[in-house]
Amino acid sequence: MFLERISYPEVQAYLQKSQTVLLPVGSLENHGKHMPLGTDTLIPEHLCDLVDAAFPDLLIAPPLHYGATEDLRGFPGTLSIGVEGLRILLTTILDQLFDYGFRRFIILNGHGGNSKSIDQAGMHLYHRGAYLACLNWWLIAGQLNAEWKGGHGGGEETAAILAVDPSLVHQEFIHLPENMRNDVSDELPSYSWTSVLFQGASVTIPRPVCSITDNGWLAHGMGSDAPSRATEAMGQEMMTAMCRYICDFAKAFSRAPLPGNP
């Protein structure tokens, strides 16, 4: 049940039986030379299609294609509205849904950089008497099966895109290495995302990812998450498991009492 495909009387009827809505949130950003810029939106959208088929009684709002991805600016095509921009956009949309009667909001998130904005929107809703739950699909998938766990544009996300549409993955680039370089100094080698390693511990030094790698996929220190390990079968299995998890969570979340209620 997609919000953009139904009429307002159908929304009124839905609210008589449920106050839960699912909202996919993504971004437009580099994921390596082998992956599409819309990876973080395409995967949540695909999951929503699977969820709709498995649980047609759950209302799904249109996705947000732009997110907070400042650290990936510099790779052509990456567009960011920043933490504050996403917070304002999210809060505006969620507040209007709240005014119509929705009280349980599920964000299906495709990008880690969106987390601060989502958390702030969730706290805002909590103080209004509602709950927001954020499902970071890539983290949950890695917890459901450790073999799926991955980094940015690595095997996990590549497998997911293969499940969405294999033609979107540029196989001619899939074996390219991270090409990480020690852009700060050799004494402070690049380690994971924008952190460096010093005396066995990681230290974050905020800077654009394009200064660290000219490819753009990063395994977050997990050397085994190369994109080349991805298969369409892995992606299909992972998406099926995630669909089941989202459906089960939505049902349990819908039964949870709202803040301030016993």
Question: How confident is the model at residue 177, as a pLDDT?
Answer: 87
Instruction: Read off the pLDDT of residues 76-120 as tens digits, 9 standing for 90 and up.
Output: 999 999 999 999 999 999 999 999 999 999 999 999 999 999 999
Is there a contact between 60 and 73 (Cβ–Cβ < 8 Å)? no
Which DSSP category does 152 fall into?
A: B
Q: Tokens 């996919």 label which residue?
A: 24
Listed by start position, the domains of the chain span 3-150+230-255
* CA gap 65, 75 in Å, rounded: 17
Domain 3-150+230-255, CATH: 3.40.50.10310
Angle 39-54/232-255 helices, nearest 10 degrees? Answer: 60
Element (H, E) at 197: strand 195-198
Given this model, what pLDDT does residue 141 score? Answer: 97
pLDDT tens string, the chain, 262 residues long: the values are 999 999 999 999 999 999 999 999 999 999 999 999 999 999 999 999 999 999 999 999 999 999 999 999 999 999 999 999 999 999 999 999 999 999 999 999 999 999 999 999 999 999 999 999 999 999 999 999 999 999 899 999 999 999 999 999 999 999 998 888 999 999 999 988 889 999 999 999 999 999 998 888 888 765 678 999 999 999 999 999 999 999 999 999 999 999 975 4
pLDDT, one tens digit per residue, over 170-192 is 999 999 988 889 999 999 999 88
* Predicted local distance difference test score (pLDDT) of residue 180: 87
**Residue 58 in tokens:** 């759950």
pLDDT score of 224: 72
What sections of the chain are H helices per DSSP? Answer: 8-15, 39-54, 82-100, 115-126, 137-144, 155-164, 232-255
Q: What is the pLDDT of residue 262?
A: 43
**86 φ, ψ to 5°?**
-70, -40
Q: Phi-psi category of 235—alpha, beta or left, where left has phi over 0 and alpha has psi -120 to 50?
A: alpha
Q: How far apart are CA 259 and CA 77, in angstroms?
A: 41
